Amino acid sequence: MTRLIAAALLVACTVPAAAASRRPLVPDRFDGTWSVEIITEAGTCDRAYRYPIRIEHGRARFIGAAFTVQGSVAGNGAVRGSISNGMATAVVNGRLGANGFGAGTWVASGSLECRGRWNAERRG
């Protein structure tokens, strides 16, 4: 369960937000493969994870996990999103940069209550 939430947090770091989806996204600006590290700073989630995330036209793709992702990467790189697995939800905020790096914070609530930060690096 803890690993599922952590995996979902990674996706949320790079997915579109409902507020940003009303505006046109800048195509391909942040597209590519990103290596995202999730670090827990407080709570019961495992200490750290690293996963690859693929962004295509401002939307993130993560294959192999059962969770719901909502959010977006805005044209300026702002990341807002949420993920849930039915028992816990994580809210993610931050920014991806044109320089190929990104960072932000996340907070999970529900059956897991923890928070931390994330870092991303474009890999392709």
Lowest-pLDDT range of 12-21, 75-84, 112-121: 12-21
Q: How many residues does the chain have?
A: 124
Instruction: Check: CB of residue 16 under 8 Å from CB of residue 71.
Output: yes
CA-wise closest residue to 7 among 47, 55, 56, 67: 67
Q: What is the mean pLDDT of the chain?
A: 77
At residue 4, the pLDDT reads 46
- pLDDT over 90 at 55, yes or no: no
Band of pLDDT at residue 45, cut at 50, 70 and 90: confident
Nearest to 57 by CA among 98, 28, 80: 28
Q: Would you state the pLDDT for residue 112? A: 86
**Distance set, CA 57 to CA 3, 17, 45, 51, 75 (Å):** 27, 13, 31, 19, 10
16 CB burial (10 A radius; 0-12, 13-18, 19+): buried
5-9, 41-45, 83-87, 110-114: range with lowest mean pLDDT: 5-9
For residue 9, what pLDDT is reported? 53
For residues 82 and 18, give the distance between their C-alpha atoms in angstroms, rounded to a whole number.
10
pLDDT band at 32 (very low <50, low <70, confident <90, very high): confident
Indicate whether this model's pTM tops 0.85. Answer: no
What letter would DSSP give residue 5? H
Supply the pLDDT for residue 108: 92
